[in-house]
Amino acid sequence: MTGNHSNGKTIMTLTGNLFIAGQRRSSDERFQALDPSTDKAIPEPGFAIAEPADVDAACEAAEAAYAIYSNLPLEKRARFLEAMADEIDSLGDTLTERACAETGLPEARLTGERGRTVGQLRLFAQVVRDGAWQGVRIDNADPDRTPPKPDLRLRKVPLGPVAVFGASNFPLAFSIAGGDTASALAAGCPVVAKGHPAHPGTSELVAGAIMRAAEKTGVPTGMFSLLNGTSHELGTALVSDPRIQAVGFTGSRKGGEALMKVAAARKQPIPVYAEMSAINPVILLPSALESRGDALAQAYVGSVTMGAGQFCTNPGLVLAMQGEALENFAEAVGDAIHKAAPQVMLTHGIRQQFGAGKAELSAETNVTLLGEGVAPSNECQSSAAIFRTSAAEFMKNPSLGEENFGASSIIVECDDLDQLQSLLAGLEGQLTAALHMDEADYGMAGKLLPVLEKKAGRVIANGWPTGVEVSHSMVHGGPYPATSDPKSTSVGTLAIERFLRPVCYQDLPPELLPACLAGQGPDGAIRLIDGVWKI
Amino acid sequence: MTGNHSNGKTIMTLTGNLFIAGQRRSSDERFQALDPSTDKAIPEPGFAIAEPADVDAACEAAEAAYAIYSNLPLEKRARFLEAMADEIDSLGDTLTERACAETGLPEARLTGERGRTVGQLRLFAQVVRDGAWQGVRIDNADPDRTPPKPDLRLRKVPLGPVAVFGASNFPLAFSIAGGDTASALAAGCPVVAKGHPAHPGTSELVAGAIMRAAEKTGVPTGMFSLLNGTSHELGTALVSDPRIQAVGFTGSRKGGEALMKVAAARKQPIPVYAEMSAINPVILLPSALESRGDALAQAYVGSVTMGAGQFCTNPGLVLAMQGEALENFAEAVGDAIHKAAPQVMLTHGIRQQFGAGKAELSAETNVTLLGEGVAPSNECQSSAAIFRTSAAEFMKNPSLGEENFGASSIIVECDDLDQLQSLLAGLEGQLTAALHMDEADYGMAGKLLPVLEKKAGRVIANGWPTGVEVSHSMVHGGPYPATSDPKSTSVGTLAIERFLRPVCYQDLPPELLPACLAGQGPDGAIRLIDGVWKI
């Protein structure tokens, strides 16, 4: 990638090379970026494929950079994250246009996603400065106790180099400088990113922005590398490298489970934070369904079809009690879905799998196709589909509860609250669970909340699961298989905790204590002193 | 177990039955408790062996109790933990005498351990009341933003039923009502305990105390069960049960790794918190070694031989630079170890394995036996042993870095600081790393700290690793294989976090919000409101 300035805007020419700790690396063999709206290669020299030596070099550099990067003053680390945001902002349309070409996602969506990406980097800069993430605890010594009580001081330190896998469906917010990278770098962990092969040009542009930010803020370049490739072996080699200490992944259940196996089989097993698979149940309670079924139907179809349904939080399952209100809702959904325009999906593979999933559901006995979107005008588009079945059938047939990634959803009719509760209790873990309700429904909602809390990372009232706020209180997580670790989130500031571990210092002389543990801890940062919280 | 009062003291008669949610269960086949000082059975009817139906019943009861127990008012949960402590206290000598008979540990040690056990239950009661563990975060809504910002509220909820494995070496502090149980119950998780077969009577006494505390405080009895048995199948069945959501284990690396495999192979994998294997390096820096080598030698032998060396934090590795000071230290160690009395070990199996480990080390070329303790007067005792080798040899031979559970340690002579650093960098993860130093050593210590932080959960200055304070700032954890999860601790109040997961509530009406999330969160408990910490 080379840059020159014209009218104050940086024009980028892609080179297709890897980034290994600030150095560019080429390869003899290269792969092409594909335009999913034509399935044709985007004409350009193509992208270098990382070899085992590249994985080794990137991990070696990350390990070396860890010692320096993890000990930078917090202000410097925060400024680096802000500089990343600035550099990504200054890529402007170059970035969103490239991402459009590689993903088929509309420009407005990608402009929004760029905003989310830089916003999340700036939010993590605040988190770094705040210092609460260090988790400082001090228990002062008591030499007069029998036995004498030692001086104990705890802080959290970064785990070490983190492997981040770019996601196909969020080419910016969950790829090279996305949530996993932002939270790992905020924690003080170097990142070795594996770019998703569906958007290598987008990855290169963002990696270039990271490198420029590192140069401008004087951060060691080894704290970031970008590896590209099209084989599973690359990911396996990266997760197997003994210097890698944690993994961030957003993608399919199959992909996440494969990485979990690799991580568990290491001599030193490491945590994998995989965000994988969910159908995000939405429950329409009777009074709400009665009073505003039409509006719910419009909003439902809007949520299902948004971004061709390629969201982890797509509402794949709608539950309601049988009756006239449900019939009216279903009719309105049928009307709305018939008007839904066909859309380009992220990749040829995703499109094929989505089509196969729809065909399988259509072939199920006791499952009816409520409606399909407008037929595609070419073979590179897909149309949305909404199905319908009974709770008894849904509970009998586990395949109906599996995610079909794309604009597909199933409406399930329940006989009564008991049956609805049984169905929910039998679901696998979910990212979200939503309840549409009026005040008259609160009693029923109160009965459902315990099972929803148990099944999901986020419980939503009167909203749809798509749309994930990046904030302090967000949980984008949930029990298996929504994620591999229900104790974490991959969106929001709590995500930093995935990459930290506590270390206790016993009787260390003040001269040798880390700065944040000196005296009674850092003023202004939340900390626990002799069992009492202080700010 | 039946109890009657005599002179204000509760006299307990063991029945050997299991506890399944407040009910006692017997079995046809029974096993005997053994006295390790004689290898003979303690005369009594023996102990029931849990069958698959018992595992099922205990897990079913735990699952049912979860809904109630996890939602008790915090004050009630805290009082239950305190009542457990009171009931264990009131067992008095009955408990310590039984534990002595089953473990061969001296009475003073067990009295101390009982104090630690009840102290840790009372400390967790304070933690429950404090409420900070709920991790409350609130981001208030902003309907005027484009798009409108939802109301988001986060709290941590208990994971669900937890399987706790009793440890052989801490029959009280890490068994039935030990650290794992205390932190799981504090988090709101029911516990299904698997008693260690080496001290079933001790387990029964403690389980009875838990049940009496539950009755007195009105806590559902399903939140605790005790299963006993002698086969690995029992542990496998327990960890495989789909209702179990996490595992606490302290024991051998082999045992911990077996449970990790079972947990990872489940349809829904679950976290295993296994505290397994460490040799806890102790570094004697030159000035300290020169100025107080004799005192260090005495303290070292004291730490190695304490409790027959059966501590996770036993100092199995001492590192120092070559020279006269090291020779003087080694001579003093040799003198001291020769006087160490032989001791009864916890079980026949541990004693045999320890003996085999000593024999293997003695047979290594380039490893010398610096000295052994007084020879045993009977075959049920073991004597301590301290070995010596060079850093070059230690780095060449990985078996020298493996834990030999018992009073065994190796002194390793390093050529210089570089070689010491290389050796440390090659070590596996550790629970602790200790530095003995005078002011003149601080420069060298500063160079070593980064590698010690990376390798261990606790860094100790001028102390020995045995002796683990139960407090807010303690970390009894560390990188693999010291534990299976370096992000956690099994001692100290931070241990509660192992059993919690965050849930976010979006736009939930106040009527349906959990109490701790109402308004601007609970006054007095630390919480994050719109990015600002409040107390």
CATH label, A2-28+47-276+488-497, candidates 3.40.605.10, 3.65.10.10, 3.90.15.10, 1.10.10.10: 3.40.605.10
Buried b (16+ CB within 10 A) or exposed e, A319-356: bbbeeebbeebbebbbebbeebebbbbbbeebbebbbe
**pLDDT (average), residues A383-393:** 98
- Sign, CA torsion B484/B487/B490/B496: negative
CB A69, CB A80: distance < 8 Å: no
- Chain B residues with beta carbon closer than 8 angstroms to that of A152: 469, 471, 473-474
Label residue B5 by pLDDT band (50, 70, 90): very low
Give the Cα separation of B109 and B513 in Å (integer): 48
**Mean of the pLDDT values across residues A351-370?**
96
- The answer to whether the CB atoms of A463 and B150 lie below 8 A apart is yes
φ and ψ at A371, to 5 degrees? Answer: 180, 155
In the prediction, which pLDDT does A12 show? 62
Mean pLDDT of the A217-233 span: 96
Catalytic: B312? yes
CB A298 within 8 A of CB A332: yes
To the query of whether residue B60 is one of the catalytic residues in this protein, the response is no
The set of residues, in sequence order, having a beta carbon less than 8 Å from that of B362 and lying 6+ positions away, is B369, B385, B387
3-state secondary structure of A150: coil
Instruction: Report the distance separating Cα B359 and Cα B367, nearest Å.
Output: 12
Mutation target among B142, B473, B474 for the A interface, most CBs of A within 10 A: B473
DSSP letters, A332-366, are: HHHHHHHTPPPEE-S-HHHHHHHHHHHHHHHHSTT
Cα–Cα nearest to B45, from B230, B176, B192, B200? B200
Residues B186-220 have pLDDT tens digits of 999 999 999 999 999 999 999 999 999 999 999 99
Residue in A457, A500, A504 nearest the CB of B473: A504
CA distance, residue B191 to nearest chain A CA (Å): 17
Residue type, A87: E
Residue of A159, A428, A505 with shortest CB distance to B459: A505
Give the per-residue pLDDT at A13.
Answer: 82
pLDDT value for A524: 85
Instruction: Please provide the average confidence, as pLDDT, over all residues in chain B.
Output: 95
Rounded CA separation B235/B196 (Å): 11
Taking alpha carbons only, the member of A314, A344, A65 closest to residue A210 is: A65
For A447-482, give the DSSP string: HHHHHHHHHEEEEEESS-S-----SSS-----TTTT
pLDDT surpasses 50 at A308: yes
Domain B16-27+46-142+149-276+488-497, CATH: 3.40.605.10
Contact assignment for B504 to A459 by CB distance below 8 Å: yes
Helices (H) and strands (E) in chain B, counts: 13, 27
Catalytic residue among A59, A100, A189, A312: A312
Q: Which CATH fold topology does A281-461 show?
A: Aldehyde Dehydrogenase; Chain A, domain 2 (3.40.309)
Query: Domain residues of chain B, as ranges?
Result: 16-27+46-142+149-276+488-497, 281-461
What would the pLDDT profile of B421-430 be if each residue is shown by its tens digit?
999 999 999 9
For the cut 70, the answer to whether the pLDDT of residue B515 exceeds it is yes
Measured distance CA(A135)–CA(B255) in Å, rounded: 32
Rounded to an integer, the average pLDDT of B259-287 is 97
Give the pLDDT of residue B44. Answer: 84
B523 falls in which pLDDT band (50, 70, 90)? confident
CB contact under 8 A, A507 and B454: no
Mutate to test the interface with A, among B504, B528, B533 (most CBs of A within 10 A): B504
A430-439 burial string, b = 16+ CB within 10 Å, else e? bbbbbbbbbe
CB proximity list for A430: less than 8 A, separation 6 or greater: A278, A279, A280, A281, A455, A456, A457, A478, A479, A482
**% of chain A surpassing 90 pLDDT:** 95
Nearest to B469 among A71, A149, A428 (CB): A149
Residues from chain B that touch A535, judged by Cβ atoms under 8 A, are: 533-535
Helix (H, G, I), strand (E, B) or coil at A54: helix
DSSP for A164-175, please give it.
Answer: EEPPSS-TTTTS
Strands B224-227 and B18-20 come out as antiparallel
All residues of chain A having their beta carbon less than 8 Å from the beta carbon of residue B439 are 509
Pairs across A and B, CB distance < 8 A: 204
Query: Is it the case that residue B7 has pLDDT exceeding 60?
Result: no
Could you give the angle at the alpha carbon of B289 between the alpha carbons of B287 and B295, nearest 5°?
130
CB-CB under 8 Å, B484 with A533: no
- pLDDT over 90 (residue B4): no
Polymer length of chain A: 535
Q: How confident is the model at residue A43 (pLDDT cuts 50, 70, 90)?
A: confident
pLDDT value at B484 more than 60? yes
Question: Average pLDDT for residues A116-137, to the nearest whole number?
Answer: 97
pLDDT at A7 over 90: no
Distance between CA atoms of A263 and A228, rounded to whole angstroms? 20
**Of all helices (H) and strands (E), which one includes residue A432?**
strand A430-436
Cα(A416)–Cα(A138) distance, rounded to whole angstroms? 54
| The pLDDT value given to residue B352 | 95
Best mutation target among A129, A504, A512, A534 (most B Cβ atoms within 10 Å) is A504
pLDDT at residue B8 above 60?
no
pLDDT > 60? residue A93: yes
| Chain A nearest C-alpha distance from B201 (Å) | 30
CB contacts, 8 Å: B454 with chain A: 160
Which residues of chain A lie closer than 8 angstroms to B71, CB-CB? 450
Q: Give the β-pairing of B191-194 and B224-227.
A: parallel
Identify all chain A residues contacting B535, using CB atoms and an 8 Å cutoff: 533-535
pLDDT computed for residue B216 by the predictor:
97
Q: Is the pLDDT of residue A454 over 50?
A: yes
The confidence score (pLDDT) of residue B12 equals 62
Q: Rounded to the nearest 10 degrees, how much is the dihedral formed by the CA atoms of A330, A335, A337, A339?
A: -170
Contact A268/B479, CB-based, under 8 Å? yes
d(C-alpha B350, C-alpha B229), whole Å: 18
The alpha carbon torsion through A143, A149, A151, A157 (nearest 10 deg) reads 170
Nearest Cα of chain B lies from the Cα of A109 at a distance, in angstroms, of 13
Across chain A, mean pLDDT equals 95
CB atoms within 10 A of CB B422: 14
Residue of B nearest to A112 (CA): B147
Nearest to A152 among B157, B473, B481 (CB): B473
Q: Is the dihedral of CA A311, A359, A365, A253 positive or negative?
A: negative
Distance in angstroms (rounded) separating the CA atoms of residues B481 and A268: 7
